């Protein structure tokens, strides 16, 4: 961790000044688990967002994009789990608009200052009456201390909540960055069935905020995969309340780099948490591609390896089968010299200059049974590198997804 910032114990999206959040059970789930949440800022927050690359964009994403386009500001985000409100036609759009309108009424903000996010089953009609009744009750659940309630409300098949906050000094003032995310299955580079919400009390110039989010997403959320499927509902929203009095942040600010490093750390930790919590996963897999001729080449190869079902099943079985790694690299569509590749599994070298290296199979298997497995590929063809994260592919993944709707 960088000396530029510190993590906050039990930090969340409500750690920065100006933010509160909460969650509740509105009746969408058969159990009494939370299924509706709201993130609220007491002032219009400078906002940037990125969305799924899937051509089928769910109605909430379309409504959110329209909201942000008005002024690049938000004050509230309403989120439901269980139902994705995707591929639901005109009625789905009307339901998302109704959620936006009701949230604006209950929190006394402008409609275009409200974003809508949904996650869950695709193609099911939204039980909008339950949602709207829940939103009417949300103000009593939203407060500074209820970040965890919000975290629980956005989960689908996730086993754990994903939350973090850090603090750093800007112009001698303490600034905080908080984050929450959900995601477990249908996760693939270019985002996935994941939602992420990032908050800060810093003053950030809007174009710099948008650029920072885009660049950092490409190196974090777009570098994770669970199962190779990209969802219809992915969204990352960043909100800056500007509550802390310091010179506005942009690349020209002398402490911009420290802010960028802290922001990147928050997104990276959330991305790794999503990969670690992949449906049925038993371990986190990290792939490092180094000494590549370009960053793009490194990213594409890293994502190809981490997304390979054969590599993922080998990791699940603790089988140091480097042939699957080299095979996936060769199908990545990138140009590199296939005669110069080194591969390490953990600190165990299994390939040198594309030639097999004798290694202790038992030691390798023991390493691959650990909770995190790192695969390092050295191309020996440049100075660029990239890191991707994913998980193993287990029997449990099949069980979960064979009965997702039931």
Active site residues: 193
- Helix 309-316 vs helix 295-307: angle between axes, to the nearest 10 degrees? 60
Q: Which residues contact 222 (CB under 8 A, 6 or more apart)?
A: 189, 190, 191
Sign of CA dihedral 296, 301, 304, 305: negative
**What's the half-sphere exposure (Cβ side, CA atoms, 13 Å) at 5?**
25
Distance CA 138, CA 323 (A): 53
Distance CA 157, CA 229 (A): 15
Of 98, 129, 96, 99, nearest to 27 by C-alpha is 129
Please give the torsion angle defined by the CA atoms of residues 397, 191, 155 and 133, in that order, rounded to the nearest 10 degrees: -130
**What's the half-sphere exposure (Cβ side, CA atoms, 13 Å) at 292?**
21
């Amino acid at each position: 961790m960088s000396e530029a910032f510190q993590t906050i114990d039990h930090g969340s999206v409500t750690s920065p000044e100006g933010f509160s959040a909460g969650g509740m059970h509105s009746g969408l789930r058969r159990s009494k688990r939370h299924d509706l949440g709201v993130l609220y800022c007491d002032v219009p927050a400078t906002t940037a967002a990125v969305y799924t690359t899937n051509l089928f964009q769910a109605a909430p994403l379309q409504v959110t994009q329209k909201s942000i386009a008005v002024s690049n500001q938000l004050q509230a985000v309403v989120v439901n789990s269980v139902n994705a409100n995707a591929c639901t036609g005109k009625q789905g759009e009307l339901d998302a608009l109704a959620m936006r309108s009701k949230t604006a009424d209950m929190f006394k903000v402008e409609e275009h200052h409200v974003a809508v996010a949904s996650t869950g089953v695709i193609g099911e009609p939204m039980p909008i009456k339950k949602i709207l009744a829940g939103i009417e009750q949300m103000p009593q659940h939203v407060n500074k201390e209820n970040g965890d309630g919000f975290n629980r409300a956005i989960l689908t098949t996730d086993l754990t909540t994903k939350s973090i906050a850090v603090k750093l000094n800007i112009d001698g003032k303490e600034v905080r960055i908080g984050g929450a995310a959900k995601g477990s299955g249908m996760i693939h580079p270019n985002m996935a069935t994941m939602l992420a919400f990032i908050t800060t009390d810093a003053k950030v110039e809007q174009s710099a905020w948008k650029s920072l989010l885009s660049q950092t997403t490409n190196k974090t959320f777009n570098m994770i995969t669970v199962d190779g499927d990209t969802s219809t509902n992915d969204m990352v929203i960043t909100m800056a309340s500007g509550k802390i009095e310091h010179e506005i942040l942009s690349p020209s600010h002398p402490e911009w780099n420290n802010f960028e490093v802290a922001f990147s750390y928050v997104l990276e930790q959330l991305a790794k948490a999503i990969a670690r919590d992949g449906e049925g996963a038993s371990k986190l897999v990290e792939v490092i591609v180094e000494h590549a001729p370009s960053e793009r080449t490194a990213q594409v190869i890293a994502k190809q390896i981490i997304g390979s079902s054969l590599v993922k099943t080998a990791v699940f079985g603790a089988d140091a089968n480097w042939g699957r790694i080299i095979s996936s690299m060769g199908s990545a569509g990138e140009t590199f010299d296939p005669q110069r590749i080194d591969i390490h599994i953990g600190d165990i070298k299994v390939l040198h200059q594309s030639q097999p290296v004798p290694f202790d199979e038992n030691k390798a298997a023991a390493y691959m049974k650990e909770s995190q497995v790192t695969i390092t590929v050295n191309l020996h063809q440049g100075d660029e590198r990239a890191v991707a994260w994913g998980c193993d592919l287990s029997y449990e993944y099949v069980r979960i997804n064979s009965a997702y709707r039931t």
